[in-house]
Amino acid sequence: MALLAPYSKIPELNTATILLVENEEKVQSKLADAIVQREKDVNVNVRLACKLPLPVENSETRPRVDLVVFIVNLLSERSLQVVENSLNHLRSDFFLGKVCFMVTDARCGALAQERLLSVKKLAASHRCPVICAEHQTEDGISMAASRLLTVLKVSAGLSPVATTALYLSTLTRCTVPSELDED
């Protein structure tokens, strides 16, 4: 089983690649459009996948992946399961600031809150940030796109301010409140 590795390929000049993983493919295409249209300075590639591992046939053409985003729809149990299974297909170097979680539909119902908690725990145990996004409105999508772009630029090494991905990871990673750790 081939793991996806972050440093196996040489980066291209002024280019960043983001991989959006979503089981249901509802949000990812809208988000991808928003991302490529929003960014003008840097050449951003977006790869869409419904789960990991990625097909072997594409491995030659696939550029170096700088950020992996797992999109979890809180209304669907399966979406969470797929993300949990997909995490095993990433090399551990990715977790130094090159993975983030994005949850949608976080406002709906009690069931969603339980799943939100398990996503947070998952993210905390992998030292990754969690971003909550609104996918039903245009504004929500473009906001989510801009937040992802900010993270992407850092993890691709394009941002002069936050220089290392490791540094970013310590600042943005998800922490679960301590009382939740006990149970």
Footprint of another protein on this chain (CB under 8 A)? 19, 23-25, 29, 32-33, 36-37, 43-51, 54-55, 57-58, 61-62, 78
In the complex with another protein, the residue whose CB is nearer, 46 or 106, is 46
The least CB distance from residue 53 to another protein, in Å, is: 10
Q: How many other CB atoms are found less than 10 A from the CB of residue 76?
A: 17
How does strand 130-133 pair with strand 15-21?
Answer: unpaired
The least CB distance from residue 173 to another protein, in Å, is: 26
In the complex with another protein, the residue whose CB is nearer, 51 or 127, is 51
The least CB distance from residue 35 to another protein, in Å, is: 9
Decide if 86 contacts 126 (C-beta within 8 A).
no
In the complex with another protein, the residue whose CB is nearer, 46 or 154, is 46
Rounded Cα distance between 173 and 38, Å, is 25
The least CB distance from residue 45 to another protein, in Å, is: 5
In the complex with another protein, the residue whose CB is nearer, 21 or 168, is 21
Rounded Cα distance between 120 and 75, Å, is 15
The CA distances from residue 72 to 11, 22, 129, in Å, are: 28, 7, 13
